[in-house]
Amino acid sequence: MKKQLIAITGAIALSTAAFAGTASAKTVTIHAGDTLSGLAQTHGTTVNTLKQLNGLTSDLIYAGAPIEVGGSNGQAVQKTAYQAPVQKQKTYKAPVKQVQTQTTYKAPVQQKQTYKAPVQKQATTKAYTGSSSSAKSWIANKESTNNYNARSATGKYIGKYQLDKSYLNGDYSPANQERVADKYVKDRYGSWSNAKSAWQQKGWY
């Protein structure tokens, strides 16, 4: 007894076989559970004839595939084997993420300026001491014995050089007395030596 194979669910391409005869072939669709022997018995043919008609080399058949079961005159006809459509498997490609480069903002470095207060030069007030000469000392001794606080009897002449108080403009300080005395002598006599000579002649200068 020959081993019978039951149709397997799926699809496979059957080889193309060319046979002489007419083109009025009968084709049926294999269902799950069909076997070559069962199909041969149903359609009044043999297993070997079904193999020859469909180019089969074994008893293995697949559900869903067409199978030639014979022509109207019982002769084999040219048969193009069933080819299941090839489905292309789609390859999923994940979208490419664009990496954005984040630019870190850097604030400009500000140079710290150190405030320097302007240096104020202190004005050095140097007391006027007047010129120095033996003639000047001689006159001062004659006029007041070198006393800045000396006053004439009438109060008109002030200080060490007994200057007219109008010359001093109310400033009786030693420095102002020295300054005014030097100016007075220079303007009137040109030098303290000349002023001494005039004093010796007149008793005043």
Task: State the fold for domain 8-71.
Answer: Membrane-bound Lytic Murein Transglycosylase D; Chain A (3.10.350)
Beta-carbon contacts of 155 under 8 Å, excluding residues fewer than 6 positions away, are 165
Domain 134-202, CATH class in plain words: mainly alpha
What does DSSP assign to residue 129? -
Cα–Cα distance measured from residue 52 to residue 120, given in angstroms and rounded to the nearest whole number: 125
Q: What is the pLDDT along the chain (205 residues), one digit of tens a residue?
A: 444 455 544 433 333 333 333 345 689 999 988 998 999 999 999 999 989 989 899 888 888 999 998 764 444 444 444 455 556 666 667 676 665 666 666 767 666 666 676 666 554 445 677 788 899 999 999 999 999 999 999 999 999 999 999 999 999 999 999 999 999 999 999 999 999 999 999 999 9
> For position 83, what pLDDT does the model report?
54
Domain spans of the chain?
8-71, 134-202
> For position 115, what pLDDT does the model report?
63
